Structure 1
Amino acid sequence: MTAMINDSLVSLVSRLGTGRDKASTVFYSNPVMTDEQALAAYRGSWLPRKIVDIPALDSCRKWRDWQAKNAEIELIEAEENRLNVKGKILEALTKARLFGGAAIFIGTGDANPELPLNPDRVGKTGLKYLTVLSRRDMTAGPIEQDVTNEYHGKPSYYEVTGSSSMQMVRIHPSRLVVFVGARQPDSLMMMGALEGWGDSVLTATLDAIKNADSTAGNIASLVFEAKIDIIRIPDFMKQISSPTYRADIIERYTLANMSKGINGTLLLDKEEEYETKSASLAGLTDILMAFMQIVSGAADIPVTRLLGQSPAGMNSTGESDLANYHDRIQSIQQLEMTPAMHKMDECLLRSALGTRPAEVHFTWAPLKQMSEKERADIFKLTADAARQLVGSGTGQEIIARDAVSRALVNRLVEDGVLPGLEDAVDEFGEIGEQEPSEAEMAAAAATQIAKQPVVPPLKQAANDAAPRTLYVRRDVLNAADIIAWAKGQGFATTLPADDMHVTITFSRAPVDWMEMGSTWDDEVKVPRGGARLMEKFGEARVLLFNSNMLRWRHDEMVDKGATWDHEEYTPHITISYDPDAPDLDGVSPYQGEIVLGPERFEEIDADWRAGISEE
Structure 2
Amino acid sequence: MSIVARITDGLTSLVSRMGTDRDKAATTFYGAPMLSDDQIAFGYDGSWLPRKIVDIPAFDSVRAWRDWQAKPEQIEALEAEEKRLGLKAKVQEARRLARLWGGAAIMIGTGDLNPTLPLNMDRVSRGGVKYLTVLSCRFLAAGEIDRDPTSEWYGKPKYYTLANASGQQLTIHPSRLAIFLGAKQADPDLSTNARKGWGDSVLNSVITEIKNTDATAGNIASLVFEAKVDVIRIPGFMQGMMDPGYEARLLKRFTLANTAKGINGTIILDKEEEYETKAASFAGLPDVLDRFLQIVSGAADIPATRLLGQAPAGMNATGDSDLRNYYDRLSADQEIETTPALYRLDECLIRSALGSRPDEVHYRWSPLWQMSAKEKADVFKIKADAARAIAGSGGASPQLMPIEVLSDALVNAFIEDGSLPGLEAAIDEYGKLSEQEPDGDDETAALGAALTDPNARLAANDATPRTLYIRRDVKNAAEIIEHFKVQGVETTLAADDMHVTIAFSKTPIDWLKVGDDWGNVDGELTINAGGPRMMEQFGDATVMVFGAWNLSYRHERVKEAGASWDHQDYNPHITITYALPVGIDIANIEPWKGKIELGVEIFEEIKPNWHAEIAEV
Task: Normalising by structure 1, report the TM-score.
Answer: 0.69
Q: Partners of 1:512 and 1:387 in 2: how far apart?
A: 17
Q: 1:472 aligned to 468, 473, 487, which one? A: 468
Question: 1:364-513 alignment to 2 at 5 Å?
Answer: 364-374=365-375, 398-399=403-404, 411=416, 430-431=429-430, 466-473=462-469, 504-505=504-505, 512=512
* AA partner of residue 233 (structure 1): I
Shifted more, 133-142 versus 504-513: the winner is 504-513
Aligned residue for 2:321, secondary structure, equals helix
Q: Partners of 1:47 and 1:83 in 2: how far apart?
A: 31
Question: 1:38-187 alignment to 2 at 5 Å?
Answer: 38-165=40-167, 167-187=168-188
Deviation at 1:263, TM superposition (A): 4.1
Q: How many residues align?
A: 506
Q: What's 1:583 paired with?
A: none
Q: What's 1:579 paired with?
A: none
8 Å contact from structure 1 (residues 471, 603) kept in 2: yes
Q: What's 1:613 paired with?
A: none
Q: Partners of 2:173 and 2:525 in 1: how far apart?
A: 61
Q: What's 2:205 paired with?
A: 204
8 Å contact from structure 2 (residues 193, 200) kept in 1: no
* AA partner of residue 314 (structure 2): G
* AA partner of residue 462 (structure 2): A
* AA partner of residue 570 (structure 1): D
* AA partner of residue 113 (structure 2): A
Q: What's 1:436 paired with?
A: none
Q: What's 1:334 paired with?
A: 335
Q: Partners of 1:361 and 1:546 in 2: how far apart?
A: 35
The change in CA–CA distance for 1:503 and 1:281 in structure 2 (over 3 A counts) is: same
Q: What's 1:221 paired with?
A: 222
* AA partner of residue 209 (structure 1): I
The change in CA–CA distance for 1:333 and 1:528 in structure 2 (over 3 A counts) is: closer
The change in CA–CA distance for 1:263 and 1:431 in structure 2 (over 3 A counts) is: farther
* AA partner of residue 115 (structure 1): L
Q: 1:550-587: per-residue Cα shift (whole Å, max 9, x none)?
A: 6433321244x426699x963499xxxxxxxxxxxxxx
Q: Partners of 1:342 and 1:467 in 2: how far apart?
A: 61
The change in CA–CA distance for 1:469 and 1:546 in structure 2 (over 3 A counts) is: farther
8 Å contact from structure 1 (residues 67, 361) kept in 2: yes
Deviation at 1:600, TM superposition (A): 5.5
The change in CA–CA distance for 1:270 and 1:349 in structure 2 (over 3 A counts) is: same
Deviation at 1:410, TM superposition (A): 5.3
* AA partner of residue 126 (structure 1): G
Deviation at 1:119, TM superposition (A): 0.6
Q: What's 2:485 paired with?
A: none
8 Å contact from structure 2 (residues 109, 129) kept in 1: yes
Deviation at 1:312, TM superposition (A): 0.6
Q: Partners of 2:538 and 2:242 in 1: how far apart?
A: 75
Deviation at 1:95, TM superposition (A): 0.9
Deviation at 1:246, TM superposition (A): 3.0
The change in CA–CA distance for 1:75 and 1:467 in structure 2 (over 3 A counts) is: same
Q: Partners of 1:370 and 1:255 in 2: how far apart?
A: 68
* AA partner of residue 467 (structure 2): Y
The change in CA–CA distance for 1:164 and 1:292 in structure 2 (over 3 A counts) is: same
Aligned residue for 1:326, secondary structure, equals helix
8 Å contact from structure 1 (residues 208, 291) kept in 2: yes
Which stretches in structure 2 are left out of the alignment for 5+ residues?
A: 1-12, 19-23, 392-401, 433-441, 450-456, 474-500, 573-585, 592-597, 610-617
8 Å contact from structure 1 (residues 140, 196) kept in 2: yes
Q: What's 2:452 paired with?
A: none
The change in CA–CA distance for 1:431 and 1:240 in structure 2 (over 3 A counts) is: farther
Q: 1:182-232: per-residue Cα shift (whole Å, max 9, x none)?
A: 112333333662311111101111111111111111111112212212222
Aligned residue for 1:130, secondary structure, equals strand
The change in CA–CA distance for 1:258 and 1:470 in structure 2 (over 3 A counts) is: farther
Deviation at 1:273, TM superposition (A): 2.5
Aligned residue for 2:189, secondary structure, equals helix
Q: Partners of 1:160 and 1:549 in 2: how far apart?
A: 55
Task: Normalising by structure 2, report the TM-score.
Answer: 0.69
8 Å contact from structure 1 (residues 502, 572) kept in 2: no
8 Å contact from structure 1 (residues 389, 398) kept in 2: no
Q: 1:212-271: per-residue Cα shift (whole Å, max 9, x none)?
A: 111111111112212212222333333345564433433443444444344434344444
The change in CA–CA distance for 1:141 and 1:432 in structure 2 (over 3 A counts) is: closer
8 Å contact from structure 2 (residues 116, 171) kept in 1: yes
* AA partner of residue 29 (structure 1): G
Q: Partners of 1:354 and 1:517 in 2: how far apart?
A: 43
The change in CA–CA distance for 1:276 and 1:328 in structure 2 (over 3 A counts) is: same
The change in CA–CA distance for 1:101 and 1:388 in structure 2 (over 3 A counts) is: same
Q: Partners of 2:199 and 2:571 in 1: how far apart?
A: 62
8 Å contact from structure 1 (residues 157, 171) kept in 2: yes
Q: Partners of 2:92 and 2:98 in 1: how far apart?
A: 10
8 Å contact from structure 1 (residues 506, 604) kept in 2: no
Aligned residue for 1:132, secondary structure, equals strand
Q: Partners of 1:359 and 1:520 in 2: how far apart?
A: 32
The change in CA–CA distance for 1:551 and 1:34 in structure 2 (over 3 A counts) is: same
The change in CA–CA distance for 1:124 and 1:406 in structure 2 (over 3 A counts) is: farther
* AA partner of residue 289 (structure 2): L
Q: Partners of 1:268 and 1:194 in 2: how far apart?
A: 68
* AA partner of residue 148 (structure 2): D
8 Å contact from structure 2 (residues 502, 555) kept in 1: no
Q: What's 1:348 paired with?
A: 349
1:320 matched to 2:306? The reply is no
Q: What's 1:489 paired with?
A: none
Q: Partners of 1:307 and 1:528 in 2: how far apart?
A: 32
Question: 1:172-321 alignment to 2 at 5 Å?
Answer: 172-190=173-191, 193-242=194-243, 244-321=245-322
Aligned residue for 1:187, secondary structure, equals coil
Q: Partners of 1:429 and 1:345 in 2: how far apart?
A: 27
Deviation at 1:23, TM superposition (A): 7.9
The change in CA–CA distance for 1:15 and 1:264 in structure 2 (over 3 A counts) is: closer
What RMSD in Å do the two structures reach over aligned CA positions? Answer: 4.9
The change in CA–CA distance for 1:463 and 1:349 in structure 2 (over 3 A counts) is: closer
Q: 1:144-169: per-residue Cα shift (whole Å, max 9, x none)?
A: 0000000000111111113421x111
The change in CA–CA distance for 1:462 and 1:75 in structure 2 (over 3 A counts) is: closer
Deviation at 1:26, TM superposition (A): 3.0
* AA partner of residue 466 (structure 1): D
Deviation at 1:379, TM superposition (A): 7.4
8 Å contact from structure 2 (residues 144, 157) kept in 1: yes
Q: What's 1:556 paired with?
A: 557
Deviation at 1:36, TM superposition (A): 1.4
Aligned residue for 1:188, secondary structure, equals coil
Q: Partners of 1:552 and 1:334 in 2: how far apart?
A: 34
8 Å contact from structure 2 (residues 468, 505) kept in 1: yes
* AA partner of residue 232 (structure 2): I
8 Å contact from structure 1 (residues 472, 599) kept in 2: no
Deviation at 1:430, TM superposition (A): 3.6
Q: 1:369-399: per-residue Cα shift (whole Å, max 9, x none)?
A: 3445556666788899999999xxxxxx944
8 Å contact from structure 2 (residues 514, 557) kept in 1: no
Aligned residue for 1:512, secondary structure, equals helix
Deviation at 1:474, TM superposition (A): 6.6
Q: 1:495-518: per-residue Cα shift (whole Å, max 9, x none)?
A: xxxxxx996445567563563558
The change in CA–CA distance for 1:356 and 1:25 in structure 2 (over 3 A counts) is: closer
Aligned residue for 2:291, secondary structure, equals helix
8 Å contact from structure 2 (residues 297, 307) kept in 1: yes
